[in-house]
Structure 1
Amino acid sequence: MPKRIPFHVVYATSEDSSYPACELNAQGPAARGWRSEGGPPHELLLRLARVTSVHKLQLLAHHQLIPACVEVLVSGGLVSEGAATPCGATYTSVGRVTLARPAQQARTRELRSAALPEPTIARFVKLKLSGPHPPAKEDDQVALMAVNVLGEEVEETESSPVQPVNKEPAYSPYDDLAFIMYVDNDIADLVRSLDEKKKAAVGEERFEYARRLKSAGAALASAGIRIGRWRLRKRTAAARDDFELARRMRDRIADALCGVKEDPQLCRLFEEDGPDRRNDSSMPQEYDFSHHLSPSVAAGSLSLDIPSPVPPIEPEPELQDPEYVNGEEEDVQDMQPSPEPTLQEEVPPTLPEPVQPQPVQLIQEEKEVQKKIEEDELRKETDSPRRSITPNAANGSLVRRRNKSAGPRSTFEAYEERLLPALRHSHTNEYLRESREEECSGGSAATSHSRSTQPHKLNERERKHAALPILIFGYPLVEKFYSKNYLDKEEGLSRLRAELTSPSNGSTKTSPNKTARAAAILLQRALRDKVFSVYSQANEVVKVLFKEFVPDRETSKASNSRVCAAEVGRCLEKLLPELLRACGDPAPRVHSTAQHTVLTVADCPQVR
């Protein structure tokens, strides 16, 4: 099975002092990559650890400094092909790799994998890079972030040529550059070890153990990506002389690696003391090692995921290129030096004043004033939210935690300190009624003007539904029931109650049957209201409808009725379902009111 072949860059035509060619020797999240200096030709010569049958070559390009193409040449280094040194070797071209033209303000890097023709026996690999894509100048820089060679080692003896293999070779995903460049190297080694144990477990038919190893490998890879980001940040902070942030990142990485490697669940999976029966049991849940990456006071970890509020220092020219982690950009320009903040405040020095004798009363007054000032400061500190502070066990200092909100920090001091209205009684909203009366009695001109506005205009559908109530009671009263303001609904119920108890000239001209039917339509809507004061008043009007309006008060007989029995039945068909629904409401005051209304209506002779 092909694997990753280590190599060393032994020659480069040119290199930037900040991005030397030796950066390509090791791949990882914190790798800087190589950049050229001057005009073409640009050549890189790689010496492989051993003579290798190369199957695949991977190139990770820069996001802007991209060469148009890269030509790949190899030299076997065998005795039959000449000297096994870079100078005396003979190179043969095996193909070209073309790279895409960079887009303006591109934020992604291109990873190209080139399968070499087999057999390709090589000890040295030479990369010839062309100039950048037009319209860039030919003398502009080109760069490579990483190079990866995948293949199989062969013996360095004269032998017959290797026959081509028709079957496509299988590659480990953990040897791919997409995994290597974004996962921390120490974590990547643990993942590869788990992958080897998983293959062995499958061969031994320990499938539950293999399942555990697969889950642990995925959890480790996720943790390795985060640690890789921290390594990149540590390197960037050190380059900008922000040594305090670099030290904290170093301690955080060390604590995370120590916690992951010493995790008892992970140690049990390695089975260093022999097979463990617990690994063959069913896995209750997926593995998760993210708790080792969280800030820990005991381990001395620090929650520093954002730059310090200190103004940024202008970066050096060679550090203005953004790096990428896990396929996303981590802008180096946003990194700011983070001096360690503490809670100590600088107090200007004051000269000692001569002590003068003061009366006892003045001293007590000063003490009271000082006590009030301290209480006000304490109240402000407790009322206004601040950034949470995590102590560092290493040096006893205090560090501010990340504030993830993008907007400005809010405090309770910005709000008006006033009392909020509350219900004084359980069944009535007395406070709101008192406020309304005060507004009516001593309201300003602006308030009276706003109160005189129309509450709600009925649409066509509502007009059709309320055609009979509008004909009986008039449009002004009906629109109160369709208003969105609960005060208007309460006023409409009060006016409807007045119409039922002492009908006006308009409603006396219509029959009592139509009046009862119109009132039932409006009350059906009011009983569905969510505001309890409206709902409670609607129940009272329902009682008035059946106890005062339906019976004929002018006759002494209880059996006489102003509304016919059929119309009473229609009113019950509209109102009784709403009352029964309210009887099942979980709120005690709602279902108690509904039950009392149902019992009162049922006691009426006309309903019985």
Structure 2
Amino acid sequence: MVERCRIRKLQLLAHQYMIASKIEFYVSESLPEYFAPYQAERFRRLGYVSLCDNEKTGCKARELKSVYVDAVGQFLKLIFHQNHINKYNVYNQVALVAINIIGDPADFSDESNITSREKLIDHYLGHNTEDPALEGTCSGKSDYISPLDDLAFDMYQDPEVAQIIRRLDERKREAAQRERYDDAKTLKQAIADLQKIQRPLDLPLQPLVCSSSPCHQQPALTLPQPEERGTENQFADPFLQEKPSSHPLDISPQHCVVDRSPPAADPPPKTHLESLPYDERPLPATRKQPGAVAAEPEKRDTDSGEPPRAGTAGEPEPLTEKALREASSAVDVLGEALVAGAYSKTWSHREDALLALYKQLMDAPAATPKEDLKSTLRAAVFLIRRAIRDIVTPVFQASLKLLKMIITQYIPKHKLGKLETTHCVERTIPVLLTRTGDSSARLRVIASSFIQV
């Protein structure tokens, strides 16, 4: 890097078939001198990311990995491990299409003082990483990162349009700093209009002749060429990481884009793209793979009874970037698969995740260390608090079942202290009290009965 920086986010765009199985990250303040290794600074390991083998897409898509870090240095080193084997990578090569480093300039004088001052204050206040008030927080994760700095922004936008949007965004921030809010609002609307216009411009990229047409001829098998747009999305494979001592790595949510081919049956109903977050909007030119199971929308869940479970088979969708940051502490304790089920858009996955957590807590051996029991309790309370707000009756009932078991069995069985009981009650009962005024009579009765018991 040009100067010493505080790195907050790393993004890697993998090659479509020359894919490394794992990439490690190292950072250093200065470049080591190989002739005087004991006098120069060594690289400090941050962690690693695992890459998908890309077999599901036939090596026709590229994987975008986003990693949150909090490290200071000027030199970043990447170590590529053995490649994934496929029929296209004849010479066992590894490659990256793009890398994006997001951070801020770091000052030598301020950082160490701020860090030591914060640690000193936390020491005298008695705060630690297990403090309930700090649940779901992590150093360096609260900093705002503009979506315009994201690598996906350049992938999905025309280069000239992207530069115009960035200039408008700079003017918008200047107007907001000068308290010219009318001008800032106008510029914000102009940016939104440009992004809306960009999507219809992508439509001609679709093939003019469908693959099912008799006039369409399949080309001979060659090395797969990735499409310029729509194929460079993120995958949904789970990530197992080695936790560094001070800077954990968090992987962003990932989505898989498959080859565009027209479905044999009637096309699925259109979704309202404007209602989705910006990072989760699909490109207009992409289509889902035939036979893929669509995620059941939240709006279909009603209070009149248990919704049908038909069409909910399969794994829950991966966590979004926002959900990963919000539930980072629960993911570290319970695992990403269980938390993804609790955050799923399909109600049955949410219910199954709570029931699986119920069984996990019931089967916890008495010889488990106290710190592990406390961490699991706080992670469970975090998911219960979210599930209590659920509008689906089975999910709401599963959350109350889990909460009752924790208070009446889990805490007494493992002889946890008063602090854990207080934390459990204070984090859940206020949310449960709000459900006593719910518009659904059934949910009101369930909430009131639980509190009275």
Q: TM-score, normalised by structure 1?
A: 0.28
With a CA cutoff of 8 Å and minimum separation of 6, indicate the structure with the bigger relative contact order.
Answer: 2
Q: TM-score, normalised by structure 2?
A: 0.37
